[in-house]
Structures are given as structure tokens and as C-alpha cells.
A and B are shown apart, each in its own frame.
Chain A
Amino acid sequence: MKKKSWIFGLLLIALVVIIPLALFAFPRDRASSPDPWDFLPEHPTHTDHSNIIEGPFETPQQVTQACLECHEEAASEVMHTTHWTWQSQPFDVPWRDEPVTIGKFNQINNFCISTAGNESKCMTCHIGYAWDQYPPKGYDFSVAENVDCLVCHADKATYAKGGYGNPADSVDLLAAARSVGVPTRDNCGGCHFNGGGGNGVKHGDLDESLYRPDEQLDVHMGKFDFLCTDCHRTSDHQIKGRLLGDNYTIDPAEQVQCTDCHVAPPHEDERLNAHLASVACQTCHIPAMARKNPTKTFWDWSQAGEDRGDDHYTYLKIKGEFIYERDVTPAYLWFNGNNEYRYLVGDPINADGPTYINKPAGSIDDPNAKIFPFKIMETIQPYDPVNGYLLTPITAGEGGYWHDFDWDKAFRLAEERLGLPYSGQYDWTETRMYYPESHMIAPAAEALQCNDCHGPEGRMDWEALGYPGDPVDWGARTPTP
């Protein structure tokens, strides 16, 4: 014991030296901020299905049945998602007496207007099969074997959808089924990058350039190789993230937020962090929309039907006139995550100006609202001047406008199929939709800086936002939330 006492002495000396050093070298306030990587989901190890699935498959429904042999709950999970139902649960809106639902299934937008009645084309992007087996608005959402597992899980090199949600004729179902795995950008992008009827048409922040983006276009996917599902996290086939245009209000818990991973305060500069109370991350970090591929910003259906010679970006006989724009500066609005209004089929149009298909909610007085970037879609589309509401033409298929170029016929067909009364007269009116921008986050160095918004060359219309003037001089909104 006595022999070894020097060891205690050595330990004591070590402590006397190390403790003060540690105290000074690691000041208390240097609590490490959480690392965004800690919040990313882990990808499951890929299970190669090529030896598991045997086939042969005559129908796509047989594939689904094969999937369900092991993944027993999969179909019922999927059937509870809006990817399947294409409409919300019923809820109340102030301007209707009855509860309503909103979704692609029953409502309209200002691109191709209505999926209902146009199932042959539109259902190419629905995750169900066999829309040709049911009348319009009569699809049976309870048939589990109609769930299309392959469109999300098969290698996109092996699978594509054709009319009425069915696989394209050339698809080798067995090969497709054997290729399944975690959904890739190609699976999600197949529909979401082509929303509105083509590459980049709808969103401004989602287009085919995101299949293989560079860092400048999308820092998450380009630099860090994210999959869609890294942010749009999924449990039981419920995928986080909601599109404003297809909703009225959105539960924040269902939405993807930057702060899911980027825990505040994100900037070294106190002045920048002060912006967080009133400015969404996206506002500065998406300096422009459609930075690579152009997006459609204007569509005039009234010009359709002429033999001017088709050009993808300016005129198509079946669709009318368009404007595509690239590198577009977004519009900036106060936004609290919800819509103030969502047009429902049968709602009266606005006689004094454009009709809003959706209108984001929020104002300078709303403490939950932040200035947010939007793509605005302006469209001239048909309405019924007698009934005063927007019309939903049948475009695809026999008797549709794209077939016969007869608007009157298209509306009559719609009345017959969908039940929306048509007075026999139609005219054109301007509508608007607002698409919040959240993708295509640029690298930090590309983010907007002070002078991009403030000062004489600034892009913000401060008075339209409700400020007395540029807040650099006039101060932030008061009281700040």
C-alpha cells in the first residue's frame, strides 16, 4: 500500500492541473448546437426482392397481392393516405353549410382544371389501378389489390403507368416487382416533377432537374445526396408534407419544416437571426424559382383550338397559350401555413378581378405568419356566366376537348359525367393559384443578402406587405411575435 501511494500523488497532481484547464478551455456557454444530421431518418437496408418474388403476373393486381403476402398492412396503410384518396377528410369552411372535402379527386386547379372526368390521362399519376373499371366519381377506394405498389417502389427503369392508372402495356410486371426498394427521387419525381401536365409546369421548385441536381440548385439533394423521403419522412406509408393548393388548412405536424433538422438559431449573425420572427427560411434561401428548368406562370385556355403550330413553351392547340419563365423572383406574402380561401367546385367566381383558387392566409398582424416566397399561377379558364362558377371541361378521351376541340361539347359532357349544371354559355375568367416554394434550397453563400430586400433596389414591396416603409428604416413589425 505504502509503496503505491505515489500513484495517488500522481493522480492528485493530474487532477490539479487538468481540472482548471478543462474549466477554462471549455466555457460553459459553448453548449454544442444540435447537428442537423442527427435528425435524418435512417434508410432501411435494402432487401433484394429478385429472389423472393416468383410470379408470373398476368395483372398488376396480382403483383399487389404478392406484395401483401408479406407486407400485410401495406395496402390498408396506403389506403388511408391522401396519395390514395386524393381528398381530405370532411371539414367545415365558413362559406359552405355542409362539410366539404378537398383534393384532386373532386376539386379543380388552374392547370388542367379537373381530374374528374379525365381519368384516362390524370390517373396516370394516381397510385391506383383500374380507373377504367368505374364510372367517373365512382371509383371504389376499398379494393386493396388496386393499390399500385410498383409506382413508388419499383425501379423506374422497369415501370411506367399508362391510361386509367394501369401499367403501360410494355411493362414486364415480374421484372418491375423484383426491382422494388425504397422510393427514390425517380419514383417521387415521376409524378411530382411533372405536376400540371409536364416537366416543371406546376410548382416552380419541383422539376426534373431535381433528379440529379448540382449543389447550386439544391444543396440538400445536390451536395448531400438527400432522397425526397429524407425530409418527407414516412411512417406507415403516411408521408409528411402537404401541398397548400390541395388543402384548406394544414396541421403543422403534417408539414415538413426546415426546423425539423435546423434547430434554431441557425446563423452566427444576430441580425440575421432577428429576421426569423418574420421571415421564413425559404425566403432568403430560395433566391429564385425554376433556376434550371422553366416553370409555367401563365396559361390562357381561351386561345386553345387554333392551328398556329404547336410549341411546347408558348402554344399548344389542345391547351392554349402559355408563358414559361426561368429564374423567377418569387412573390412574397405573409403566410401562416394555411389557406385563407380554397375554391370549391360550384363556388361563385370573383366578378371584380381574378378568382383565387387558393389564397394563402396571413398578414403582418398575424404573429404566426412569416414572409414566404410563392409562385403565382395565372390562368384564363372557362366559367359559366349564367351560373357564375368555374367550369370543368372534359378534355381527355372520346368527346373531350382535346379530341374534338369543341368547348361546348366538353362542358355538356362534364355536366353529364360529373353533374355540374352547365347553362349552355361559357366565357373566360382569370384565376390565380399560390404555390409556396420550399424546394431548391441554394447553398448558404447564394442566399439573399440585405440589399436584395432592403434599400432602393430591394425586391420586397414593403407597403404591400403592410409595413409603413422599409423595416431597415422603419423597424420590424410591432409587436414582434
Chain B
Amino acid sequence: MNTSNIELPAWLEIVVIPILNIIAALFFTGLIMLVIGVNPVEAVGHLLRGAFGYEGGLGYTLYYTTNYIFTGLAVAIAFHAGLFNIGGEGQAYIGGLGAGLIFLLLDQYLPAILLIPIGIMAAGFFGALWAFIPGWLQAYRGSHVVITTIMFNFIASALMVYLLVNVLIMPGQMSPESRYFSEATWIPQMHEVLGVFGFKVTRTPFNLSFFFALLCCFFVWIYIWRTRWGYDLRTAGNSEEAAVYAGIRPRKVIVTAMCLSGALAGLVAVNVIMGESHRLLLNFQLGYGFTGIAVSLMGRNHPVGIIMASLLFGVLSQGGLELAFEIPQITRDMVVAIQGLIILFSGALALMFRPWVVRAYLKFKPLGEQHA
């Protein structure tokens, strides 16, 4: 029976099937743990304790969540335009370069009230620039954006190594890092903010960028589903011919979508560089871009789903550290493996369970609906 044409109620499509996919991914995660001689139940215990249980755990979890929200949104917005942006990694990296360059140039002269917005804009702008090129090449030269963004990840990485080793390195220092930026560029961390109100919280890198990320979720949602430009974006993403018929220019949409996507990825630098490290380092973005793909797939390219998926990955990232501490066989690489499984089951195999769900639905749905 061909089930792909049968429509299912929304709760089955957007709740039950995604959960089945995640269960499948977690099932295989459990198998891997058994193979390496770890009790999965015990591991989950450590994981949750690491993520929420101990002091500061939650802060770290939300810090990671913030990064995943940015990169997840980046993948999602491109996806709605029919584009698969694998370049979040490089765009985040170059976004950091943008913020870093501006700060190295201006941080001695301007106050925080100017520096922080300028830094955010620079991070977004540089990220957008790094996505603009593949976007333009796709729109006007027909070069496939998947391949070009992969290539741009490597180019970004080579460029950053070169710059950090040869140009931006702090003089008289061995490790390839820039100097610290002035405190005027620092985004307040939550323990400081809460401290102002008299709450004592453990120091973590969790900073105000988190709320900025949530704001971005809201704006992305508005943009995609509630504005003319988002409508144009979705039209072009679904059918290029229909877009042309409607007077929408698909090429413009491609370039715009890639720029927005790159800008969102670039904002990772706001959380990491401006919120935590306060200097430019090698590989500060490592893995966030790729995780963004898993996040977006798992969150079905919707901001609400992305927040939930980001939280899950935040838990995995932070809890994974605790796990590695408690069980020496496990490192954070376990989280990477889980990510791979989630990309597999929520992405490539997203429709694997659908025929079963359809059959179950047809069997059990009330007779009254039979004609609907």
C-alpha cells in the first residue's frame, strides 16, 4: 500500500512520528552503551544530573542551548527556501572573526552601549557574507549550495588558522589566540545579572545571549509565517515556477535566505566570543554548525521545535561532560555519535515509521471519520 499520499492529523505528523524517530535514535544509543559495557540507565542518570543536578549544570546546559538555537535557526530558514546550508560551521567561525576584528579595532574607544550592538551586527554581517557567496553562486551560477558550503567550511577554517597564527595572535604568546577584548564588549553573564537582583548563582558562561536567541526564534517565526518576505521565501522554496508566476524572483530569495541563514549562524559568536571567551580562539565554533543541522531536522524546521531540540542537545552536551567524568569509557564523543543517530533517524529516515503510523491510524480511527 502506498501511504505517502494519505494525510494524517497534525498531532501524529508533528508529535508522534518525530518522537518515534528520536526513540529509535536513543535505542541505538543504548545499544552502543551496552557494547562498551555501560549501563544505559545509569548513564542517563549521570547525564541528567550533569545537565541539571549540580550547581551550574543548568547554566552550562543553557549556554550550549543558545548556540544550537542560532545554528538550528540558520539551517531552518535556508530549508524553507529549499536550500540545505551545511556551512553553519564556517559562517559561525567567520562571524566570530567579524566581531573580533571590530573589537580589536574599536574596543578601546567606544562604550558598551555601542560596542555590543556593533559586535552583534559585525558577527551577523560576516556570517551573512560567508553565506552570501555560496548563495550567489547557487542563484546566478548554478553551483550546488551543499557542495560550496562544505568547501567554504574548510576555507574558513584555513583562513582562521592563518589569521590567528600569523596576524591576530597576541604578541609574545604561543597559543593562537587574540588578546582579550575590553570589558565593554562583554555580554553580561547570568550570574552577574541575577547578582544585581540579589540572587547568588554559580558562575557559568550562560549569558544574556540566550534571550537574544529566543528573540531570534520569535522573529524567524514571524518572518517565515507572518510576513510577505517569508511567504515569498516559502513559495520559492516549494516551487520555483510558482514563484516566477507570482512575480517573485527566486534568485533574490536564494541570496536573501542564505544571507539570513549565515547571519543567524554568525550570531553563535555573540554567545561564545562576547558572552564567554572574550577573545578570538581557534575552533571556538567547533561542532555547533553541524549540530544545528541535527537540531533543525529534529525540530522540523520550526522555531518551537528548534528550541526544544536545542535544549535536548544542550543537555547532551553538558550532561555528557558529567557523564565522561563519572564513566571513563564515555567522552563527549558519545554526544557526537548520538547526534549522528539523530540526524539519521530524524532526518534521512524521517519517514521510516510513517507507513506503520498510517496503517495504525487507518485501523483505529473512529468509523465516523472514515469518509473525511
B is bound to A: no
Residues of B within 8 A of A (CB): none
